[in-house]
């Protein structure tokens, strides 16, 4: 098995061949200390690997143990580009599930989208990223591409994609044009996909008070749901319209229309999981079942409500199958899991000690939740004029943004995550033969 010297350096074999990283069931030969090149060979010239290294890398089980520890999807793609055998290991479904468990997708940065018109959107990379991810952020283009001669407003992020929309208003109609941007795609022509336009009719005595776009990534592509809340003058409650655009469709279709005597909040935003949309109201959580077209409600945990802005938010598990509720009160953050008909308190985080470094500069009485990452790995908090990033797993809190003197409102935060699964390369014939 002949591999260039740079592959050994890139894989970091001198660090990976340690007892704690290799299964105890395998016996690892001693790796000799690197020696100067023999006479007649220049430093850095390609050479055959030592027999002991070949013995390790020729073992499929050990090779998989090495590749699964590269740490980042970008490194996994480079490992897969070595040869067909390495690609087979890296792209295996069971291997990818294990890799994701060991190395969940990382947060690369976040957008702040203003709520006032005309709205502007800015991207801020996370500080102290590992060099591997910092290089990814440096090469990416996080400003959404313009279309139809104008820039659009960011309305969401999901799995390495950014969703934007533009609105055009007419006498009795307004048209929405959505687009999906891929900042990590380096080919400009492939970075943006424009979706078919959606037209909403208006009539005297009625108005659309707010709306939200939901996206769902499936094996054959993306599906989209657009929820529009319509007020009708003199009528109790509101009408809820859900439009659907499935992968490959050329036009949006009206999926369902339901009436509700509960008025859902625009903030906090709703969540989509398991073909159900969950929306917060004063008294309950509305559940829109997109399969059965049935509206139902569930009660929040005892002592928790949505009537105080920014104190309660809905979230979901990473796989989109479980509903969470996050509540903050008096510097205490609670994470609740909806289990059947009950709520289970799964975590409580006291922020008083973490906020000690910020107490002198910013008031904590008005601390609010702006956004929660899937699986509750992180929470973005607003405290005074600052944005705080809470790492739930490691129990750390740090300031990531401070509003300027010209800013009156922060706006909505949309975290941008590393995409998953990685897109593996097509190997050249020479490497395919390996």
User: Domain spans of the chain?
Assistant: 54-102, 107-417
**More reliable by pLDDT, 379 or 23:** 379
**How far apart (Å, rounded) are the C-alpha atoms in residues 425 and 82?**
10
Gap between the Cα atoms of 321 and 272, Å rounded: 9
pLDDT at position 5: 38
Give 362-366 contacts, CB < 8 A, sequence gap 24+: 362/386, 364/331
Q: Write down the pLDDT at residue 38.
A: 58
**CA distances, 416 to each of 142, 186, 391, 419 (Å):** 10, 17, 15, 9
Indicate whether 27 pLDDT > 90: no
d(CA 431, CA 247): 34
Residue 399 has pLDDT above 70, yes or no: yes
Instruction: Indicate the SS3 state at residue 158.
Output: strand
Give backbone dihedrals phi and psi of 232, rounded to 5 degrees, phi first. -120, 125
For 59, list phi and psi in degrees, rounded to 5. Answer: -90, 115
Among residues 143, 105, 144, 110, the alpha carbon closest in space to that of 126 is found at: 110
Q: Which residue has the tokens 């929660």?
A: 372
Locate 291 and state its tokens.
């399969």
pLDDT in tens, 319-342: 667 899 999 988 899 999 998 889
Predicted local distance difference test score (pLDDT) of residue 39: 59
Measured on CA atoms in the order 373, 113, 308, 401, is the torsion positive or negative?
Answer: positive
Residue 18: the pLDDT is 36
Percent residues over pLDDT 90 in the chain: 39
Q: Give dist(CA 229, CA 273) in Å, integer.
A: 19
Percent of the chain with pLDDT over 70: 81
Residue 12 pLDDT more than 50? no
Residues 19, 21, 26: CA angle, nearest 5 degrees: 60
Higher pLDDT: 359 or 396? It is 396
**Stretch 383-406: mean pLDDT, rounded?**
90
pLDDT of residue 279: 93
CA dist., res. 280 & res. 210, Å (int)? 13
- Are residues 327 and 351 in contact, defined by beta-carbon separation less than 8 angstroms? no
φ/ψ (deg, to 5) at 225:
-130, 130
User: For the domain with range 107-417, which CATH number is right: 1.10.3470, 2.130.10, 3.40.50, 1.10.150?
Assistant: 2.130.10
Dihedral sign for Cα atoms in the order 8, 14, 20, 24: positive
Phi and psi of 65, rounded to 5°? Answer: -65, -30
What mean pLDDT is predicted for residues 205-223? 86
What separation, in Å, do the N-terminal and C-terminal C-alpha atoms of the chain show?
8
Question: pLDDT tens digits, residue range 290-303?
Answer: 999 999 999 999 98
Whether the CB-CB separation of 245 and 223 falls below 8 Å is answered with yes
Mean pLDDT value of segment 276-300: 92
- Cα–Cα nearest to 101, from 372, 274, 315, 318: 318
């Amino acid at each position: 098995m002949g591999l260039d010297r740079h592959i050994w350096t890139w894989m970091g074999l001198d660090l990976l061949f340690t007892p704690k990283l290799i299964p105890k069931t395998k016996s690892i030969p001693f790796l000799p200390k690197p020696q100067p090149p023999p006479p007649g060979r220049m430093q850095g010239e390609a050479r055959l690997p030592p027999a002991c290294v070949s013995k390790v890398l020729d073992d499929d089980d050990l090779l998989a143990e090495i590749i699964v520890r590269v740490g980042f999807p970008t490194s996994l793609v480079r490992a897969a580009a070595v040869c067909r055998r390495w690609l087979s290991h890296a792209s295996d479904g069971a291997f990818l599930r294990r890799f994701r468990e060991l190395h969940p997708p990382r947060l690369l940065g976040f957008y702040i989208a203003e709520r006032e018109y005309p709205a502007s959107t800015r991207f801020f990379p996370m500080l102290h990223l590992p060099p591997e991810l910092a290089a990814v952020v440096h090469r990416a283009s996080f400003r959404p591409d313009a279309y139809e001669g104008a820039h659009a407003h960011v309305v969401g992020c999901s799995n390495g994609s950014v969703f934007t929309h533009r609105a055009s208003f007419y006498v009795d109609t307004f048209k929405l044009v959505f687009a999906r941007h891929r900042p990590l795609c380096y080919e400009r022509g492939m970075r943006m996909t424009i979706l078919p336009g959606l037209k909403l009719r208006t009539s005297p005595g009625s108005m659309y008070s707010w709306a939200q776009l939901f996206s769902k990534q499936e094996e054959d592509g993306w599906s989209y749901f657009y929820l529009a809340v319509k007020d009708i003058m003199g009528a109790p409650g509101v009408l809820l319209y859900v439009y659907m655009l499935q992968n490959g469709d050329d036009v949006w279709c009206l999926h369902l229309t339901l009436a509700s005597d509960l008025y859902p909040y625009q903030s906090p935003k709703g969540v989509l999981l398991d073909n159900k949309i969950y929306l917060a109201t004063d008294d309950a959580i509305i559940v829109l079942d997109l399969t059965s077209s049935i509206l139902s409600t569930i009660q929040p945990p005892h002592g928790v409500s949505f009537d105080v802005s920014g104190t309660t938010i809905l979230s979901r598990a990473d796989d989109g199958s479980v509903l969470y509720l996050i509540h903050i009160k008096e510097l205490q953050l609670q994470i609740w899991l909806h289990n059947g008909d009950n709520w289970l308190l799964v975590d409580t985080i006291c922020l008083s000690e973490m906020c000690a470094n910020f107490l002198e500069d910013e008031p904590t009485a008005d601390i609010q939740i702006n956004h929660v990452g899937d699986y509750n790995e992180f929470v973005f908090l607003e405290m005074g004029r600052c944005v705080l990033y809470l790492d739930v797993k490691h129990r750390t809190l740090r300031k990531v943004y401070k509003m300027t003197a010209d800013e009156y409102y922060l706006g909505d935060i949309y975290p941008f995550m590393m995409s998953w699964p990685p897109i593996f390369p097509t190997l050249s014939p020479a490497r395919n033969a390996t």
